[in-house]
Amino acid sequence: MELIHTILDFFLHLDKHLADIINEYGTLTYAILFLIVFVETGFIIMPLLPGDSLLFAAGALAASTGALDVKIMIPLLIVAALLGDNVNYIVGKFLGKQIKMRERILFFKREYITETEAFYHKHGGKTVIMARFIPIVRTIAPFVAGAGSMEYSKYITYCVAGAILWVFGITMLGYLCGNIPIVKNNFELVVFAIIGFSILPMIIQFVKVKLRRATV
């Protein structure tokens, strides 16, 4: 119970915790941010790390304290996101064959890959970009793209575009808005809003699937 409370506190007060990290580690904060983004996007078992809210908080602190430089941070975190995605894609490429032979590995079933392949085929590579902005999905999408039939040459194009839009867009949003008093003084609500907006597409899709099944 205490662990859950600690995790929630870290999520909801990212601005304060990140400020503490900056005060304690200085320029090593860049490496810590790099590691968090890389792990969230690259390790299929770590989808719950703060992604969107972390970028927003980092951008906000860059604006309010000057301790972080967005000209350094944004390119660095784009690289972290790309490296994570590519690790995830490669692992998916390897395990995808095993899943197709064994029906299932951990919580991945053959049918998940088949359904996702159909989804990619229907909506195109733009889904890789869209997935980047949805928590959990952005961790799973590269793995499934690798496990499925999406060619790397096609995947990497959308992967790069998604990483740039995600890191630049949310970090700069924090940089431009994070120092506004109403945002700064209600950061917990901002985090909830970011999370809610991010998972809204998942909720809508879930409801659509439920309604579709109910009418069959």
Residue 86 is predicted with a pLDDT of 93
Residue 3 is predicted with a pLDDT of 41
| Residue 74 to residue 149: CA distance in whole angstroms | 31
Number of H helices, E strands in the chain: 11, 2
**pTM exceeding 0.85:** no
- Which ranges of the chain have pLDDT less than 70? 1-15, 45-50, 97-124, 149, 187-188, 191-192, 195-216
Encode pLDDT of 89-115 as tens digits: 998 888 776 666 666 555 555 665 666
Contact 28/74 with Cβ under 8 angstroms?
no
| Residue 62 to residue 175: CA distance in whole angstroms | 6
